[in-house]
Structure 1
Amino acid sequence: MQTLSLFDVPTAPKPAAKRRRAPLALGELPVSSVPAAYDREHLYSPKANTAALVDHRPGDQFPPLPVSPSGPKAWGSWWRTEASVATPDYLGLETGDVITVVDAGTATVVSTCRLGAVVRYELPPCEWRDQAHAKRYVTARNQFGHWY
């Protein structure tokens, strides 16, 4: 019979590491939950008003995002019911992916929605702010593979 002593530490299995995915080749349309288009060397998700004008791959779960209305109440409703709906990916980006962002260096994808992907990136040291990181949306990738 085995007894536990004060210094026995149970060994828990390590969580499975997220598999590293190869970045999507430039010019290739990703399999995504949102529509994907490649136009003038930029990858983006076309909105409803431009989807009919460009060749695009339909989204697996969502049609093109409707155009945002004007007016604060209508826009707020559109944001809650259309644009900020969570998705499993955005143009191939998934939560936890590390990407390069124009003017921000590398960033980590925090979440994805129909409008884009929220990324978190490190800010340079500065005595005027108390935050070390910032977040922003990225909605497109340029011909060099950097998101903006």
Structure 2
Amino acid sequence: MQTALFDLSTPQAPTAPAPQPGRRAPLLLGEVPVSSVLAAYDREHLYSPKDGTAELVDHRPGDVFAPLPTAPREPKAWGTWWKTEASVPTPDFLGLVPGDVITVVRAGTATVVSTCRFGAVVRYELPASPWATETHASMYVTRRNQYGLWYR
């Protein structure tokens, strides 16, 4: 019996992978999504511009919300801003909806847990460790880079 280094038979047309339940097609790179918050694609990064910077970049207005106001620097005022402005729940954030599976910089795949005006909360698995008690961690993502990876 001979072992061939290359298969010279007639190539077969590739078959599309079967869609996985609970997964949606990812947003194409360079595309500005329809979203409840403002969406901008600038210097190959997708993000939601805040008040004061939205006027400086080409953006798509949000379907529900205006630009997020700038956060105050005083701690008590910041807490009020967070509760009344930034953490207000939204139907989506830059096209992400709860249940979406995305790729996060330095964390691998993560599942979107919730969305708000500030960003999307994602949950990802932590590597197994003998001295760690948690198996998962959560973080906000607010931007996506030119490689399709989300980050804060």
TM-score by length of 2: 0.84
Secondary structure, counterpart of 2:56 in structure 1: coil
User: Equivalents in 1 of 2:136, 2:22: separation in Å?
Assistant: 25
Gaps of 5+ in 1: 1-16
RMSD (CA atoms): 1.2
How far apart, CA to CA, are the structure 2 residues paired with 1:97 and 1:19? 7
Count of equivalent residues: 132
Per-residue deviation, 1:129: 1.6
Mapped pair 1:121 → 2:128:
no
CA distance, structure 1, for counterparts of residue 49 and residue 23 of structure 2: 27
The corresponding residue for 1:49 is: 52
Equivalent residue for 2:43, pick from 40, 45, 49: 40
Identity value in percent: 73
User: Quick check: 2:22–2:99 contact (8 Å CA) kept in 1?
Assistant: no
The one of 79, 85, 89 equivalent to 2:88 is: 85
Equivalent position amino acid for 1:115 in 2: F
Q: Could you say which residue in structure 2 is the equivalent of 1:12? A: none
> 2:32 — aligned with what?
29
- The CA distance in 2 between the partners of 1:33 and 1:43, in whole Å, is 14
Shift of 1:40: 0.5
> CA offsets, 1:41-67, max 9 Å, x none?
000000001000000000000001000
Q: Give, in whole Å, the separation in 2 of the partners of 1:20 and 1:103.
A: 21
Structure 2 CA distance, aligned partners of 1:49 and 1:139? 17
Q: CA deviation at 1:18?
A: 6.2
**Distance across 2 between alignment mates of 1:130 and 1:116:** 27
| AA matched with 1:128 | W
Q: What secondary structure is seen at the aligned counterpart in 1 of 2:138?
A: strand
In structure 2, which of residues 100, 105, 109 is the aligned counterpart of residue 106 of structure 1? 109
SS at structure 2 position matched to 1:48: coil
